[in-house]
Amino acid sequence: MFKNLILALLIAILGLIFYTAIGLFDNFTKTKSSFLSINTGDIQATTLLDNKDVGKTPLQLENLAEGTYELILTIPEESTRSAFFKDPVWKVTLSLAPSALTSVTREFGPSSVYSAGEILSFANGEGISIVSEPKSATVALDGRGIGDTPISISTEPGVHKLLLSMEGYFSREIVVNVEGKKLLIVEAKLAINPLINPILLEKGNVYLYQLNSLNPKVIGDSEAWASAIWFFQNKLEGAPKFDLLVDSLGNEFLFDQNIINTKVKKGTPITLGYLSPNEGKEETSEAKAKINSIKNRYEKALPKIQILSTSVGFLNVRTGPGTTFTKIDQVSPGQKFPLLQEKPGWYKIKLPSKEGWINSQFAKKL
């Protein structure tokens, strides 16, 4: 009897130790779990983690084992903006630290050089370590300039605001949470700004802008550059909305023919951008030939008017739609001109070297 009691007691003690150990192990495992946050802005991307489909972004993944993972983000073909993307797949290797959140943000552009984002992760140490693509981006911490990437800085724990900027690229603002006795690693990617300081060269039935760039990644892939301009149309505040683009080799890129057709019917000018690789020098012969071809094409598409007889044998051309505007030229009965715009009682016409307004009483549409 006594032996049986001792045996039962031993079994009970061993069972308690076993279940306590299991509980401690579970607790240890939970506290050492890694966490992963993935965000792709206004685009939902299919997400593979070590080739396992874990859903569509945005995602918050918990209870991941620490270690190295391959993350693949793919823009689905049914995306309303999929036609823009030359590089719809992005791969990256992540190292997840225990008891820490790794945050991944990817903002897809038409190609990798027009895409942006950052990876925030933790390692042993303190402060913040910042690297960027491209290198030598200027860094400001809470509004104070601190240097260029790559850079390591010490700062108080808490929430801080980083601003990375570089000429020819979109700036990137990143809110970070610095934790004590942990090194925050920031890996930032800046996107090229495809449109910087457009210069209006001439007006008419075609508005021609010169767009300068010395960036070989822009010059070397003008198709991606054209897609990027249209992709970022709404982000490029105050910039012209381009209908057509031409590169230095004379390649033409069209945004939407229906928009152009509507503009032609209304007599609204077409907006054309020329990618210049030489900062303001004259267009290449290939580009000049293409630009002239486009201007002629849309001038021919414009409606025409013919000047009628007048009591004085000519008709004044003015700077605006009214007799108070300055006279800039005269036209003769029988002459024909492209019609650019209409206002009550007045036509805006295109002359060989200028534009002006005439009294519509003395002209007829053809």
Chain segment 7-50, per-residue pLDDT in tens: 444 444 444 444 444 443 344 344 478 999 999 998 899 999 99
Q: In terms of C-beta distances under 8 Å and separation of at least 24 residues, what long-range contacts does 343-346 make, across chains too? A: 345/321, 346/321, 346/322
Domain count, the chain: 3
In a domain, 77, yes or no: yes
Q: Do 185 and 173 lie in a common domain?
A: yes
pLDDT score at 160: 96
Please state the rounded mean pLDDT for residues 92-121: 94
pLDDT score at 334: 93
Half-sphere exposure of 17 (CA within 13 A, CB side): 6
Task: Say which DSSP state 168 is in.
Answer: T
Strands in 89-96's sheet, in edge-to-edge order, are 52-56, 46-49, 67-74, 89-96
- Is omega for the bond preceding 134 within 30 degrees of 0, making it cis? yes
Beta pairing partners, 75? none
Phi, psi of 349 (to 5 degrees): -120, 160
In a domain, 10, yes or no: no
Examine the fold and report which residue of 145, 171, 189 is the final residue of a domain before the chain moves on: 189
pLDDT score at 64: 95
User: Residue 325 in contact with residue 318, Cβ under 8 Å?
Assistant: yes
Q: Do 293 and 309 lie in a common domain?
A: no
Examine the fold and report which residue of 246, 281, 301 is the final residue of a domain before the chain moves on: 301
pLDDT score at 280: 59
User: Residue 62 in contact with residue 100, Cβ under 8 Å?
Assistant: no
In a domain, 318, yes or no: yes
Q: Do 313 and 295 lie in a common domain?
A: no
In a domain, 9, yes or no: no
Query: For residue range 214-271, what is the model confidence (pLDDT) as tens digits?
Result: 788 888 899 999 999 988 887 777 788 999 999 989 999 998 889 888 887 777 788 9
Q: What percent of the chain has pLDDT over 90?
A: 57
Q: Which two tokens stand for residue 163?
A: 């601003």
Please state the rounded mean pLDDT for residues 97-107: 94
User: Residue 269 in contact with residue 263, Cβ under 8 Å?
Assistant: yes
Q: Do 42 and 185 lie in a common domain?
A: yes
pLDDT score at 66: 92
Q: Do 182 and 277 lie in a common domain?
A: no
Q: Which two tokens stand for residue 226?
A: 């054209």
In a domain, 25, yes or no: no
Q: Do 37 and 142 lie in a common domain?
A: yes
**Would you give the end-to-end CA distance of the chain in angstroms?**
121
Query: For residue range 142-168, what is the model confidence (pLDDT) as tens digits?
Result: 999 999 999 999 999 999 999 999 999
Helical pair 285-301 and 257-266, crossing angle rounded to 10 deg: 50
pLDDT score at 19: 43
CA distance 59 to 22: 30
Higher pLDDT, 16 or 278: 278
pLDDT score at 37: 97
Q: Do 185 and 204 lie in a common domain?
A: no
Q: What is the CATH number of the domain that holds 312?
A: 2.30.30.40
Please state the rounded mean pLDDT for residues 78-83: 66
Higher pLDDT, 103 or 303: 103
Q: Do 38 and 163 lie in a common domain?
A: yes
Residue 332 sits in which domain range?
304-365
User: Residue 62 in contact with residue 32, Cβ under 8 Å?
Assistant: no
Highest mean pLDDT among 61-65, 84-88, 277-281, 300-304: 61-65
pLDDT score at 28: 39
Q: Do 318 and 267 lie in a common domain?
A: no
Q: Do 131 and 160 lie in a common domain?
A: yes
Please state the rounded mean pLDDT for residues 328-339: 92
Examine the fold and report which residue of 301, 325, 341 is the final residue of a domain before the chain moves on: 301
In a domain, 60, yes or no: yes
pLDDT score at 79: 67
In a domain, 80, yes or no: yes
In a domain, 22, yes or no: no
Q: Do 120 and 259 lie in a common domain?
A: no
Minimum mean pLDDT range among 154-163, 263-272, 289-298, 313-322: 263-272
Query: For residue range 38-56, what is the model confidence (pLDDT) as tens digits?
Result: 999 988 999 999 999 999 9
Q: What is the dihedral of CA 109, 113, 118, 119, to 10 degrees?
A: 110
Q: What value does the mean pLDDT of the chain take?
A: 86
Minimum mean pLDDT range among 24-38, 53-67, 343-357: 24-38
CA distance 75 to 81: 9
CA distance 139 to 163: 6
pLDDT score at 304: 85
Q: Do 123 and 256 lie in a common domain?
A: no
